[in-house]
Structure 1
Amino acid sequence: MDNIAGTRSSLQWAVHISVAVLVALWLFPTVGLFVSSFRTGDQISSSGWWQALSTQESQLPAIRIEGEEVPADGAFTIEGRLIAGDTTVSAWGASSRAPKAYAPGETVDIGDGQTLTVAEDSSFFLTSPDTTEGTRLPRVFLTASSPPEFTFDNYRNVLFSGTAAAGIGKAFINTLTVSIPATVIPILIAAFAAYALAWMEFPGRALLIAAIVGLLVVPLQLALIPLLQLHNNIGIGKGYLGVWMAHTGFGLPLAIYLLRNYMVGLPRDIIENAKVDGASDFQIFTKIILPLSFPALASFAIFQFLWTWNDLLVAIVFLGADDDSLVLTGRLVNLMGSRGGDWEILATSAFISIAVPLLVFFTMQRYLVRGLLAGSVK
């Protein structure tokens, strides 16, 4: 009975588990990056993203007491607050060797006749028999618990900050300026070429198809320097036109191969009937072939957009690395070097860089498999 068509395989549960594991492996880092992009730098440093909804307890750096000295009953007092916000002190200490020695509200002799009290809200009260002017006041080590905190300040700093280190709004626009034309131009050229290779008879067609297949395995790095020299010789140089042409040239072999395989599998009767009715090749292409080839066009658009959006090498070579022309991936590399401690800035910038590709993929993913399987069956 196990071989009867239509019965479920005994390993179906293993397939489901494998798919669930793969989805989880892909989803967890993305969710973690998304959650971290709304957290503060202190919370990111002290706890993982999966603890974002729980109260966080952390050891704060030493805080030196500051305040105005007030004489009172033959002594001198200073009072104030050590930290601002909703943070609650769970323990405190006057020495780095015992940072959790005392409970909130406990009055402690810290030497030289001075006493110190630290409350839960981090307010303190210091008394001294002698004036403290001209002397260094003691340090306090706090162990504090803070409620979950989420903020949009990270996105405001990243997208709209005027500083060169944090603002990536310009790089975001540069990446869009590169990616959209570099996706549309190869599709337009490849669609015409694929139709000609699929349905038009002319000498050397088979050689052209073989050459396109051969170009699929040419390493991109092999052509970077010669292509840049060609751009300089013809006057394009470094600029958006040069990077568009570079991405177009590198993307055309796959685009033509993918679209040609799809178009050659379309019903021949439709094209022949259109020719009998007097339709030209251009009319057949625009009114019949293009609408029917939308799954293949969409699948290539996904690949090309993801490639151009995440590209760094081609953009650096053909566009440049200055602040006015730097793309998003280049900006992230600079942030990792100059802002390595600002985890909230890095998390927000990284999530912005993957948000647009995720949106494009999930919007057009239903066409992906149909386009990839183009021409695989008859």
Structure 2
Amino acid sequence: MQDVAAHRVWDTALGQLQLQVTRPNYDTWLKDTVGLNTDNGSFVIGTPSDFVSEWLSTKMGPVIAKTVSGILGRSVDLRYEVVPQGGNGHQADEPPPLAGHSPAPAVISSPSARKRINGKLTFDRFVIGESNRLAAAASLAVSEQPGEVYNPLFIYGGPGLGKTHLLHAIASRASREDRRVLYVTCEQFTNDFVNAISQGRQDEFRRKYRSTDILLVDDIQFLAGKERTQEEFFHTFNDLHADGCQVVLTSDRSPKTIPGLQARLCSRFQWGLLADVQPPDEETRLAIVQAKALEQRIKIGPEVAQLIADRAQDNVRELEGFLNRVTAYANLTRSPITIEGATLAIDALTPPTPPP
């Protein structure tokens, strides 16, 4: 059972720890913990899993003990206990929608049907580090104040770094406020435009793309060289921007370096904010691996997490792929996930680079 005094002490400790550890470490390891009780010189911390308990004990034990001891005015020994999520933890469920009120659906354009966005790609599940902090903060801002800040928002960077995740997160957050949100890839926009011309349905096409509160377009670099599609997107952009509607675009490069992009579009893409995302640093990679393992209920030790983070340095998709491969290898061999098994699984894909 949770002790009220311990709860207050731990809340104070978390406030101090936020200033002492990096944001990825805090969000991954500390945010969902709780103070359970304090007695006989011990302070008990509730965690969501044994893995989190082990990591906090081995990696952050001294700094946590010093912080709690300073608040209590005496030395304490730390203990960890697993508590169910939604029980004594800090993270609360989202409130249900008001009776009789349904949020406006955020949709994805599709040749066959309109689909809801990927509900798993939310801001809560986006691991923030120095490599993506600006893009994440700007995305959250436009989801809460569309058309008022950073319009357009142009996010650029290499593949697998979280650009699409941020678009879905914007759509998910904004749709809660009864806003009309449309997410498409550049290819889908082009196909819709071509089909509209061939079927004489340009007016319907324009109503679809110009009557939304937020337009999210993924991989806008594929407009390059498509003159008529660029012309249509130019007018779509102008109409939305003039009406105070939010436009968010992603690309694998900055506007100025997209070959075959009209100068007037390049200029407009730079009206708001350009936010780049870079390959994650080691600390962020490790936080991503650990967050994905927790999300999928995969129990891996710190050494295995570090191995994956060390071997997949280019993008987040590679990290997820290595984690999935390590897990599959353990399942197929009916063995626990160990550093030896993980090394064998990863080496089959990417042999380690020999030292110079």
> If the length of structure 1 is used for normalisation, what is the TM-score?
0.21
> If the length of structure 2 is used for normalisation, what is the TM-score?
0.22
- Computing the radius of gyration from Cα coordinates, the structure with the larger value is 1
| Higher RCO structure, 1 or 2 (CA under 8 Å, sep 6+) | 1
